[in-house]
């Protein structure tokens, strides 16, 4: 039943979008080091950013439920992706010391915490889609598999962000010396990579009705699509695990600060 499910175009096409989109959400892995070393954020301030971001994540979910639920899934993703690009580019201003009179903490709150608000808006349409993809009789196993695809893409994205630290010199020592050019370039690069996810939005059905029409298409099955879907998922998990182990046993292997 699971194999028949992943072979359906109604499954591998939208989940392919979810995978591609999430894998492109590559963050700047040196950002917290920048806040701590150059802006002298205390542990309480960093924890405060995390707490506020968690609250905004919940508010993003509520915002979709009450305000954006009538929007098509494609529109939601395009709107939130572009909005995320704007907030991400605000990090460049903070790196250059341009905060328009606001304290660095308040300014960082705008671009760091509101990213979670945007993730919250995207969460419900993805969850709704995955629920509708589950075949009768194996809902639990199917939903767990779809969540694994979702999580594996995020894990691979995090692994890629670690590898990208070696592109430019963003070590703690370099930033403290006053050279933040690498940090600026890395932020711009990761922002453009994140926004590029909208290029695949046509893989996503507009609504539940579009998803149902894909299900109803008797010619939508593809064993090749199902095989590729599962292979990429398992390879992504393997890669993320390997990078995670290397980060533990050989810190700095990718060129980042130890």
Between CA 142 and CA 154 the distance in angstroms is 19
Contacts of 197 by beta carbon, 8 Å cutoff, 6+ apart: 20, 21, 24, 25, 77, 81
Looking at the predicted structure, is the pLDDT value of residue 247 above 80? no
pLDDT (0 to 100) of residue 108:
82
List the structure tokens of 30.
Answer: 């040196």
pTM over 0.75: yes
CB 38 within 8 A of CB 180: yes
Give residue 26's region: left, alpha or beta (phi > 0; psi -120 to 50).
Answer: beta
pLDDT (0 to 100) of residue 199:
93
CA angle 241, 57, 76 (to 5 degrees): 95
Between CA 202 and CA 73 the distance in angstroms is 10
Looking at the predicted structure, is the pLDDT value of residue 99 above 90? no
Kind and range of the H or E run holding 71: none
- The mean pLDDT of 163-179, rounded to a whole number, is 88
pLDDT (0 to 100) of residue 90:
84
Kind and range of the H or E run holding 207: none
pLDDT (0 to 100) of residue 253:
64
Between CA 56 and CA 243 the distance in angstroms is 30
- The mean pLDDT of 120-136, rounded to a whole number, is 82
- The mean pLDDT of 13-36, rounded to a whole number, is 88
List the structure tokens of 111.
Answer: 């671009």
- Residue-wise pLDDT for 52-65, tens only, equals 888 999 999 999 98
């Amino acid at each position: 039943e699971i194999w028949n499910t992943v072979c359906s175009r109604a499954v591998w096409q939208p989940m392919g979008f979810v995978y591609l989109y999430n894998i492109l959400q590559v963050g700047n892995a040196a950002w917290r080091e920048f806040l701590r070393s150059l802006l002298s954020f205390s542990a309480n301030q960093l924890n405060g950013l995390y707490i506020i971001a968690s609250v905004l994540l919940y508010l993003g979910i509520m915002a979709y439920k009450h305000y954006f639920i009538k929007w098509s899934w494609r529109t939601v993703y395009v709107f939130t992706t572009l909005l995320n690009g704007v907030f991400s580019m605000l990090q460049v201003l903070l790196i250059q010391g341009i905060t328009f009179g606001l304290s660095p903490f308040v300014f960082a709150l705008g671009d760091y915490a509101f990213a979670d608000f945007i993730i919250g808006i995207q969460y419900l349409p993805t969850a709704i889609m995955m629920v509708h993809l589950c075949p009768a009789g194996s809902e639990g196993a199917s939903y767990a598999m779809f969540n694994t695809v979702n999580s594996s893409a995020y894990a691979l994205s995090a692994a890629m962000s670690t590898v990208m630290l070696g592109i430019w010199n963003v070590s703690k020592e370099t930033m403290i010396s006053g050279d933040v050019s690498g940090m600026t370039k890395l932020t711009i690069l990761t922002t453009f990579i994140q926004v590029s996810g909208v290029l695949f939005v046509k893989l996503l059905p507009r609504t539940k009705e579009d998803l149902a029409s894909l299900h109803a298409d008797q010619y939508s099955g593809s064993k090749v699509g199902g095989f590729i879907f599962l292979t990429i998922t398992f390879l992504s998990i393997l890669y993320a695990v390997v990078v995670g182990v290397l980060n533990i046993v050989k810190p700095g292997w990718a060129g980042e600060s130890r």
